[in-house]
Amino acid sequence: MSRTEPHNTPPTAPRQGLTRATSYNAALHIRDLHGAPPTPNEDVTTPVEIITPEGKRVLIKNSGIVHTVSHTHCGPTESALQLVATLFYNPNQTLITADGEKIDVEKKYVNFGPYVSDMAMFEFIQTIDELLVPWKKWGTNHRCLDSAEHPKVMEISLSMPEMLQLSELRRHTSLWQFERKWNVELVLQENNIFRRYKRLAVFDMDSTLIEQEVIDEIAKFIRVEDQVSSITARAMNGEIDFTESLRQRVALLKGVPSTVFQDLKSIITFTPGVRELCRVLKRLGYKLAVLSGGFIPLAEYVKEQLDFDYAHANNLVVSEDGNFLTGDLSGPIVHAERKAVLLEEIAKDNGITLEQTVAVGDGANDLIMMKKAGVGIAFNAKPAVQLAAPTRLNSETMLDILYILGFTKEEIQALLAVTD
């Protein structure tokens, strides 16, 4: 950092190289790098004539300006936790109540256009400033990640209020009111070296990587979708134990033809932006895994389609003649706790710290792994899950996750343009 202020000390060396710095400094009697003041016997108003090594005569007049160099920020960083906030403009902003109910918000305020305005940015900074107890001076900066003129995604660096935990700040009433007023969604995370340098991303499958709930689709083959869907909804909202709900639903699938998974491949649709996101992450050297409470045949299909490294899901038992599902499960159940364990195991096997991991899901059985990962994202998730998750993102494209990782639109486009 540098500062410029008037002072009766010599100027900096001429730009055009008319003299060497040593000759210049000697001629002007400069004492040190900070521009020591002249002695009482020195006349600082009279032009100084020096002769360059090339024999040229140069007159230099004191401008009265001194340049100083500060080393304040060259030592250890401040003890206060540094955060980064990513603001997503969301015209369909919704409010999640303490009971997990998701309701539409009446647009009482205008954001000066369909973007994150300067006024919104200033109010966000002011809101954080009011939460700083004890208050102390702090600095901030921002980046417009998608557009300099009308940004829909903005990144703001800030200092963490000392009296709050990050989990508390994420759920602070002041920030929820700010989101509601300005039609934005806030993603708060630590601003450290691991934020941009992740190496492992794990995903739920149903309603995350793909738009369907596979078990509901299977149930349609024997017309028990209503019963299965009801149990699925309760399980994903955390109302009933996932393992028990899975066994109840699988029991209803008894008699479904074993060819059902091949038939489902023509029905399954990938969430918008998933293919592009995974292509970028692979280009950046990520390991990718699908950790699903669904079933192995479809998880393996998704792994193949998206070039994943790992696929973990549940196994359905097939009858001895290989023609029908028996309504039973075999092997370990991939429930919430199992997903978190798999995240740790895959990270450890690849020499990756948990701070360098990303976990994305939409259901209650994804919360443990989301909280264990370096950044956990509830993507277009159930209301109760959004309320409990470390971060949430409601977007039309999963590619927007790259903004949370600190990438700009130009960087994303450059990565997508790279061909093998």
pLDDT over 90 (residue 152): yes
Of the listed ranges 75-84, 94-103, 360-369, the one predicted with least confidence: 94-103
In terms of average pLDDT, the best of 10-19, 27-36, 72-81 is 72-81
The pLDDT of residue 28 is: 41
The pLDDT of 84-104, averaged and rounded, is 69
> Where are the domain boundaries for CATH 3.40.50.1000 in the chain?
200-212+270-417
Q: What is the CATH number that goes with domain 48-191?
A: 3.30.70.260
Q: Tell me the mean pLDDT in the region 192-196.
A: 89
pLDDT at 268 over 70: yes
**pLDDT higher than 90, residue 67:** no
**Predicted confidence band of residue 162 (pLDDT cuts 50, 70, 90):** confident
pLDDT at 45: 57
Q: Which CATH architecture has domain 200-212+270-417?
A: 3-Layer(aba) Sandwich (3.40)
Q: What is the pLDDT of residues 234-252, one digit of tens each?
A: 887 778 888 888 999 999 9
* β-sheet with 82-89: strand ranges across: 142-144, 153-159, 82-89, 184-190
Among 33-37, 171-175, 201-205, the least confident range? 33-37
- Encode pLDDT of 106-137 as tens digits: 444 445 568 999 999 999 999 998 888 777 77
User: Do the beta carbons of residue 251 and residue 244 sit within 8 Å?
Assistant: no
Percentage of the chain with pLDDT > 90?
Answer: 60
pLDDT reading at 65 higher than 60: no
Cβ–Cβ under 8 Å, residues 171 and 63: no
Q: What percent of the chain has pLDDT over 70?
A: 76
- Cα 227–chain centre separation: 37
Check residues 57 and 163 and name the one with the higher pLDDT: 163
Residue 290, pLDDT above cutoff 80: yes
Please identify which of the residues 204, 216, 362, 400 carries the catalytic annotation.
204
204 is catalytic: yes
Where are the domain boundaries for CATH 3.30.70.260 in the chain? 48-191
Q: What's the pLDDT score for residue 116?
A: 94
Measured from the Cβ of residue 179, the count of other Cβ atoms closer than 10 Å reads: 20
Query: What's the whole-number average pLDDT of the chain?
Result: 83
What is residue 47's predicted lDDT score, i.e. its pLDDT?
A: 67
Active site residue 206: yes
Q: Tell me, what's the pLDDT at 239?
A: 82
**Alpha-carbon distance values, 339 to 300, 314, 382, 398 (Å):** 16, 12, 18, 21
Mean pLDDT of 389-407: 96
Q: Kindly name the residue from 146, 206, 216, 366 that is annotated as catalytic.
A: 206
User: Against a cut of 0.85, is the pTM above it?
Assistant: no
- Which residues lie closer than 8 Å to 111 by C-beta, 6 or more apart? 89, 117, 119, 120, 182, 183, 184
Q: 407 or 21: which carries more pLDDT confidence?
A: 407
- Lowest-confidence range among 76-80, 89-93, 133-137? 76-80
pLDDT at 19: 40
pLDDT of residue 102: 54
- The residue among 412 and 105 whose pLDDT is bigger is 412
Q: Which of 191-195, 212-216, 353-357 has the highest mean pLDDT?
A: 353-357
